[in-house]
């Protein structure tokens, strides 16, 4: 299984998903022209990751539950990106937890003075069913 690494720019976030390092990060600005298309490789990668873990650990017959954290560190994201991120969180909850016994938590980073970013995290947490850990930045 390959890591997924997408370099960001002024409108697209950086994405780094590496199962060997147990590191899952999305960061930067998120206002791509087509968020569904931009984030499609992320959904695909997580599907492959879940199947990889299933085969590797035979999670279907195991009572063990794995815990993982996705670090989300946006400086800004637009409403269409918010929708896709919310869909990703629902996917991680439904596919990861329900099917493969992987509990994802979201490490949500925000600037201390950015109440909107903090509130966006709180709202997504309430609706998606994943636990969010909040990390204020200076």
Percentage of the chain lying above the pLDDT 70 cut: 92
| Stretch 23-45: mean pLDDT | 97
- Report pLDDT digits (tens) over 17-33: 999 999 999 999 999 99
pLDDT score for 126: 96
- Report pLDDT digits (tens) over 95-122: 888 777 788 999 999 999 999 999 999 9
pTM score, whole prediction:
0.91
Q: How many domains does the chain have?
A: 1
| Alpha-carbon span 36 to 74, nearest angstrom | 17
Residue 45 sits in which domain range? 4-137
pLDDT score for 105: 95
User: 69 pLDDT exceeds 80?
Assistant: yes
């Amino acid at each position: 299984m390959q890591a997924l690494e997408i370099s960001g720019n002024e409108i697209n976030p950086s994405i780094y998903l590496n199962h060997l390092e147990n590191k899952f990060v999305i960061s930067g600005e998120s206002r791509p022209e087509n968020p569904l298309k931009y984030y499609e490789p992320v959904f695909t990668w997580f599907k492959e990751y879940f199947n990889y873990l299933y085969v590797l650990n035979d999670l279907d017959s195991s009572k063990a539950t794995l815990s993982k954290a996705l670090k989300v560190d946006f400086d800004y994201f637009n409403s269409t990106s918010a929708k896709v991120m919310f869909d990703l969180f629902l996917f991680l909850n439904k596919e990861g937890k329900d099917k493969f016994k992987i509990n994802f938590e979201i490490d949500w980073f925000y600037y201390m003075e950015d109440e909107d970013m903090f509130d966006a995290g709180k709202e997504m947490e309430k609706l998606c069913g994943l636990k969010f850990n909040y990390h204020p930045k200076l």
